[in-house]
């Protein structure tokens, strides 16, 4: 029913566009007869995904509404979305963003360091964000869960018996190093990371078109209760997870397959509303370059689709796909800011 409703909406909009175009042509012809020949030019910037679906004629099937309906990132007054200085407002900046100040630790000891490398579209631009985790002070379970998410071994919540000996059952752990992406941006405010669909990640790993009926996604981990709040979401550069832990982001009604789509967020400014939502800070960005990279990625143009016509809705997935191209995890020794030699590194699948 949802697909039928979407199709009817698109047909209505396309008919409206055709009617508007016909009226414009008639008006134009009348004006040309009365006041001479006049010509107007309009150019539009088109994303890579939209180019592909328009060429294949399957924008609606791919749910690329920008391509299906004709909405676009911009027109002649919009900057090229692939330009590093192109902002979310379509304006070209004179210089790269500097970023906010590195957050104060407020006495929270850093126990682990995670370096997350991001690949933006098809560019060679290097965007690495270096994060420190607060693994002590009562939130060790939250940090442990996050470390499992960013490790190659991943999170496994199905029973060991089913996972190893289930007859005909296909499953795999959930890890950001396999299929992790920047799923949503609220421009200038926050970035949301996760794994959109476990089934798609599994299918790609097996070189299949779809996961199949025997695939079983990992359910949400057991909810974490009674975890203390170390600090508020009062500055840019804080690592935030849902109050109940990884897997409980979004609306909370997502299927098991999609429950890790909103695994963690990074603030690009102070957001007190995140405290009211019960979210918990488990770490922070560690250096100036990472803060500059954070500001850069948080200002990427987003694909709005239907959101673009709803007042107040400005968030969306990045116009250029952003994937996690590398994750490096180090454990910190007892001395502050001293890293051990033990390292886990894994490259994400794009």
Residue 18 predicted with pLDDT over 80: no
Give pLDDT tens digits for 173-192: 999 999 899 999 999 999 99
- Which segment of 178-192, 287-301, 314-328 scores lowest on mean pLDDT? 314-328
Q: Could you give the CA distance from residue 46 to residue 43 in angstroms, rounded to a whole number?
A: 10
pLDDT of residue 303: 82
Q: Could you give the CA distance from residue 326 to residue 177 in angstroms, rounded to a whole number?
A: 7
pLDDT of residue 121: 86
DSSP assignments along 312-329, one per residue: T---BSBSS-EEEEEEEE
pLDDT of residue 66: 55
Per DSSP, the three-state class of 249 is: coil
CA-nearest of 169, 117, 133 to 293 is 117
pLDDT of residue 270: 97
Q: Please say whether the structural domain 112-346 has been given the CATH code 2.40.110.10.
A: no
Mean pLDDT over 195-210 rounds to 93
Q: In the chain, which ranges are E strands?
A: 112-120, 127-133, 181-186, 190-194, 238-241, 264-267, 280-285, 322-332, 339-346
Q: What pTM did the predictor assign?
A: 0.73
Q: In 108-244, which ranges are E strands?
A: 112-120, 127-133, 181-186, 190-194, 238-241
Domain-wise residue ranges, the chain: 112-346
Whole-number percent of the chain with pLDDT over 90: 48
Which residues have CB under 8 Å from 325's CB, separation 6+? 117, 118, 119, 347, 348, 350
Mean pLDDT over 121-126 rounds to 80
């Amino acid at each position: 029913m949802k697909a039928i409703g979407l199709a009817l909406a698109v047909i209505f909009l396309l008919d409206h566009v055709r009617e508007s175009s016909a009226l414009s042509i008639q008006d134009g012809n009348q004006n040309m007869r009365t006041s001479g020949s006049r010509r107007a030019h309009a150019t539009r910037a088109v994303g890579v995904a939209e180019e592909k679906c328009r060429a294949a004629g399957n924008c609606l099937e791919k749910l690329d509404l920008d391509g299906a309906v004709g909405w676009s990132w911009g027109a002649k007054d919009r900057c090229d979305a692939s330009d590093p200085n192109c902002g979310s407002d379509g304006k070209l900046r004179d210089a790269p963003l500097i970023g906010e100040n590195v957050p104060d630790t407020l006495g929270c000891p850093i126990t682990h360091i995670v370096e997350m490398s991001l690949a933006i579209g098809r560019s060679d631009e290097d965007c690495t964000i270096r994060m420190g985790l607060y693994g002590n002070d009562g939130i060790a379970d939250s940090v442990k869960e996050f470390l499992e998410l960013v490790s190659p071994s991943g999170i496994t919540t199905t029973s060991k018996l089913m996972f190893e000996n289930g007859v005909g059952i296909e499953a795999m752990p959930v890890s950001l190093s396999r299929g992790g992406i920047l799923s949503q941006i609220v421009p200038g405010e926050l970035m949301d990371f996760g794994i959109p669909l476990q089934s798609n990640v599994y299918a790609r790993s097996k070189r299949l078109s779809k996961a199949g009926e025997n695939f079983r996604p990992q359910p949400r981990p057991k909810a974490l209760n009674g975890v203390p709040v170390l600090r508020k979401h009062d500055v840019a550069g804080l690592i935030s997870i849902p109050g109940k832990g990884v897997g409980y982001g979004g609306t909370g009604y997502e299927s098991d397959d999609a429950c890790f789509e909103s695994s963690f967020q990074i603030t690009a400014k102070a957001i007190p509303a995140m405290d009211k939502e019960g979210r918990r800070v488990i770490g922070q960005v560690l250096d100036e370059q990472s803060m500059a990279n954070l500001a850069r990625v948080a200002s990427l143009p987003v694909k709005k689709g239907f959101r673009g016509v709803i007042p107040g809705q400005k968030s969306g997935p990045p116009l250029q796909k952003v994937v996690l191209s590398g994750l490096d995890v180090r454990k910190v020794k007892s001395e502050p800011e001293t890293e051990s030699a033990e390292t886990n590194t894994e490259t994400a699948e794009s």
